Structure 1
Amino acid sequence: MPSIPGDSPGTPEVQVGPVDLAARVDEALAVQALAFGLSEEEIDVRRHIVLRHLLQPGCRALGATTAEGRLVGFVYGMPNDRAHWWSTVVEPYLRVTGADGWLDESFVITELHVHPAYQARGIGRTLITTITDSAAQPRSILSAIDIESPARRMYRSLGYQDLARRVHFPSAPKPYAVMGAPLPLRGPRAGGI
């Protein structure tokens, strides 16, 4: 189980490992709400989505927890399925760029969030590399808000490249980019976001 030291005195060490995300869904959504700026209504909708995703074959989750057991980050993903809602939304955009083959034999990073107070310590990098290192698929795909951000820079440093941009999800106020990378991901396994 990877360990990430505190970045200053008084900042706790964080452990990354498997987590029962269904049992800790409210904690995870609280982290996502802070990291992503979700309203209470959006949290309620996402709770049902996360719990439904966790029932999908091959879905796996990791958490980043302090020694006291506080969840400060999480990632979950699964083998991609073209019949899933996400794939049906992004497929036309990927087809236009000639990248729709990325939907096959890919491990999709469904969610990755780190509490703002714990960002820039390598937790996000450790979560995504740890979960993809054990994927059976030869590549990984994900979507991220289509702006220059620390998350997008981290994804690029790991080998993710834009496959389609300006992707619009229903009810999402901002466009997304779909990114893909061959596995294993490149670069160091600690540091960054």
Structure 2
Amino acid sequence: MRPVDTNADQIPLVVELSAAEFRDRLQEALAIYVAAMGYPRGTEYHRAPMWTEHVQRSGWCGVGAVVPADPSTESDAVDRLVAVAYGYRGAPEQWWHQQVRTGLRHTGWTLDRIDTILDDYFELTELHVHPDAQGHRLGETLLLRLLDRRPERGVLLSTPEVADEDNRAWRLYRRLGFTDVLRHFRFAGDNRPFAVLGRNLPLGRSLSAGL
């Protein structure tokens, strides 16, 4: 892993993850996902094939946060992964893309407006911080790094609906300028309501009326 934009004394360190590194640390990443989402043990086995397939998609990139190992404690100590985020370029053949397009059409969006959103976007697929590492804006650091220098016109994500938008994820997305694209949407096979949020890229550019 290669540390990026971090100070020497900063713990944990934000690192880029190559596809190979992500696959090597897949079980660690999935354990963070299960802990952060409060899912039952064993959920990771169902998600592993999907995450493995995602790595092969066009424009995939990933970042993580690691707590450096203390070499004074164990000679074979390794860095501990405590947060992970990844995404890739959205495309019409992808299930998520198709679901969102259908949802937008059902809410009355015109095809031109839908195309404005879905023709050129980065899908923020996963962003998870282990509960033990939360509360230090680590998720924001990962998200900013992940979206840095992305070539797409915008970024989209889906997140579970929460009463009054009162959790860390919602506060992060609102703080970074994400706005509503689709609310209270139910993806096929999941009864939970989700929100689809988006904003323009790069992050320094203000959000346009089109998104």
Q: Percent identity?
A: 31
Partner SS for 1:21: helix
Q: Within 5 A, what are the aligned runs for 1:156-171?
A: 156-171=174-189
TM-score (norm 1): 0.87
Taking structure 1 as reference, are residues 22 and 13 closer, same or farther at Cα in structure 2, changes over 3 Å only? same
Is 1:72 the counterpart of 2:82? The answer is yes
Aligned residue pairs, count: 182
Aligned amino acid, residue 65 of structure 2: A
Which ranges in structure 2 are unaligned for 5 or more consecutive residues?
A: 70-78, 206-211
Taking structure 1 as reference, are residues 30 and 4 closer, same or farther at Cα in structure 2, changes over 3 Å only? farther
Higher relative contact order (Cα pairs below 8 Å, separated by 6+ residues): 1
Q: Within 5 A, what are the aligned runs for 1:178-193?
A: 178-185=196-203
Is 1:87 the counterpart of 2:97? The answer is yes
Q: What's the offset of the Cα at 1:170?
A: 3.0
Q: Distance in 2 between matches of 1:169 and 1:25?
A: 25
Higher-Rg structure is: 2
Q: Within 5 A, what are the aligned runs for 1:5-44?
A: 13-19=11-17, 20-44=21-45
Partner SS for 1:110: strand
Alignment check: 8 A CA contact 1:159 1:186 kept: no
Which ranges in structure 1 are unaligned for 5 or more consecutive residues?
A: 7-11, 188-193
Q: Distance in 2 between matches of 1:117 and 1:39?
A: 17
Identify the residue that residue 106 of structure 1 maps to in structure 2: 121
Taking structure 1 as reference, are residues 115 and 186 closer, same or farther at Cα in structure 2, changes over 3 Å only? farther
Q: What's the offset of the Cα at 1:153?
A: 1.4
Q: Distance in 2 between matches of 1:100 and 1:119?
A: 35
Aligned amino acid, residue 16 of structure 1: V
Taking structure 1 as reference, are residues 139 and 31 closer, same or farther at Cα in structure 2, changes over 3 Å only? same
